[in-house]
Every structure is written in structure tokens, then in C-alpha cells.
Amino acid sequence: MAYTLCFLLFMIGLYCAVVKKNMVKIVLGIMIMEYAVNLFLIMLGYFHDGVAPIIDRSEFDAQTQTVTAQFLNSSVDPLPQALVLTSIVISLGSLALLISICIRTYEKYGTFDITEIRRLRG
Amino acid sequence: MALFYMLLVFMVIAAIIAVETKDLLSSVICVGAIGFGGSLMFLFLRAPDIAITQIVVEVLGLIILIRATISRDLTFITGDREFFGTVVSVVILFVILLAGVRIFATLPEFGAPVFARLPGTASQAYISRGLADTGAPNLVTSIYLDYRAYDTLGEATVLFAAVIGATAILRSKSRKALEGSDA
């Protein structure tokens, strides 16, 4: 159910990127797809009634340098979280690049409509 | 968990509005609603670091998007591409959606991840040894800045490359000077 709704969000973004004529709409579709993928990866690591992957003082045994078995069995997966953190920051960079291309094209052609941007101009 | 599904449905509705509305500015604001809804979802999914990052990135992204759409005369570009192409792509997307639903049915149930519970996997090793190895109680920090620090370095490189590309595309002064010297 949750995975399906997330995939539906992805498909809405894909529809927007494939069908729309407006350049900014295409960028928005790509952004929606990014949200859906990030959300899906975090969902894969979620554990029912789990705790955030932050170790409390009471959950760490300083003598043996190990965490308690209770934390080991209730923590959500920290690995997808760390990788999605990278992905979110990179998506900001790619958004800036895409939008600057859109602004530049608008300055050259005076429109965002990709069907009217046909000829290459220097 | 009912609130979680309500937020997910809210995000889907906001996405539909963002795709179908005519005005670009309201479309951008709807995408912002998806982003902030996603940040709330990350809190529900026990990922506070991601939630904080998502809010910061979302604010910056909204500023960038509004800069592109505001004070443009032709923000009301409407219509799809030609009818036949639209129908074909919608059919293909629907087939992909059906296939995806079938594939997601084979995944482990939501809320019962496999990787974090198997002994010997990377996730399990990070959870059990992360604090002892790196000294960071926040395991996401210990992965992000210690186990996979080269990944973070590459991320910073990509970010700077994107910024350099954006400034190179957006600059206009030197180009005008070039055209002036030609004429």
C-alpha cells in the first residue's frame, strides 16, 4: 500500500516530465520523481515501532563497546538514510543547473514552450 | 500510522495539482507542499537528519524555482503535446504502473526490512559497531562522515560542478563584451 502510493507519486512525476510542453513543468516533474525515490528508499529501511538510529547513553555498554540487543533489534536502517542525504543535496545542485538552463532559454527565445524552441541560435 | 498514509495521499494530491494547474507559480508552490510533506514523512519514518536536510534544501529549491517563474510574461503556457503522443505515453505509463505494483507485491512488507535484521550485512555492522568504531552516537553521521566519507567528498564535488555550470550558463556580461568586440 505505502510502496504503491509512493510509486504512484513517481509515475505522476514521470507523466509530467514526458507529456508537458512547458520547460519549468518538466523540471517540476523531475523534482517530484526525486521526492518519490528518496521517500521509497527511506521506506525500505523503516521498521515498525522502530527508533531513530541515534544511540542513547543507556543503550551503549562502554566496557564491551557494544550496543544493547534491544537497540540492535529496534533501530531503523541507517544506511539508506545516509545515502539519501547525499541524494537530496545533489538534487538541489541539479535543480539549480536545470533552472539556469530554463532561464537562459527564456532569455534567448522568450518562451518556455519546448515546441516553439526549434532552431538553434548562437 | 493513519496519519502517515494521510500525508502520503496529500502528497499524491499535491502532485496531481502541481502537474495539472495552469499557473506556473501555483504549480511551484504545490511542489513545495510535496517537499514539506515529504519532510514530515521522514520524521514519521524515524529519519530526523533527512527531515532537517529536506527542509533546508526545500527552502533553497523554492527560492530558485520562484526566481525562474516570477515576472515572466508567458507563465500561462498550456496544453500537452500532440494528442496521439500523449495517448501512447499515458498507455505506456499505465503499463509500467501495473508492472510496478506487481513487483512491489513481491518486496518484503512495509515496516519489516530484511537488510537491517540479517546478521553480517552492512547495515547490521553499522548499527552494532558504529559508535565503537567512529565515536558518533548518531549512526547516520558515522556513516556519512566516516565509513563513506569519500562518498560525501564526491557529493561536494558534484555540487560545486553544478554551481560552476549554473554560473557559466547564467552569466551575460562577458558574452555581451564578446559580441561588442566582434561588431
Q: Which three cell numbers stand for residue B18?
A: 502541481
Asked whether the beta carbons of residue A84 and residue B50 sit closer than 8 angstroms, the reply is yes
Q: Do A86 and B132 touch (CB under 8 A)?
A: no
Q: Chain A residue closest to B8 (CA)?
A: A5
Residue-level pLDDT at A47: 83
pLDDT, tens digit (0-9, with 9 covering 90-100), for A70-118: 888 888 888 999 999 999 999 999 999 999 998 888 888 877 888 777 7
SS3 label, residue B40: helix
Nearest chain A residue to B5, by CA: A2
Q: How far, in Å, are B98, B101, B102 from residue A1 at the CA level?
A: 13, 9, 12
Of A20, A51, A102, nearest to B68 by CB-CB distance is A102
What one-letter code names the amino acid at A73? Answer: N
For residue B144, list chain A residues with Cβ-Cβ distance below 8 A: 82, 85-86
| DSSP per-residue string spanning A38-90 | HHHHHHHT--TT-B-SB--GGGEETTTTEE-HHHHHHBPPHHHHHHHHHHHHH
Are the beta carbons of A97 and B143 separated by less than 8 Å? no
pTM: 0.88
% of chain B at pLDDT higher than 90: 39
Domain residue ranges of chain A, discontinuous segments joined by +? 2-47+66-121
CB-count exposure of residue A56 (10 Å: 0-12, 13-18, 19+): exposed
Report the C-alpha gap between B63 and B45 in whole angstroms.
27
ipTM: 0.87
DSSP A88: H
Greater model confidence, B163 or A119: B163
**How far is C-alpha B115 from the chain's CA centre?**
23
Find which of A12, A38, A48, A112 to mutate to test the B interface (most B CBs within 10 Å of its CB): A12
* CATH code of domain A2-47+66-121: 1.10.287.3510
**What residue of B is the nearest CA neighbor of A102?**
B68
Question: Do A52 and B46 make contact, defined as CB atoms within 8 angstroms?
Answer: yes
Residue type, B43: L
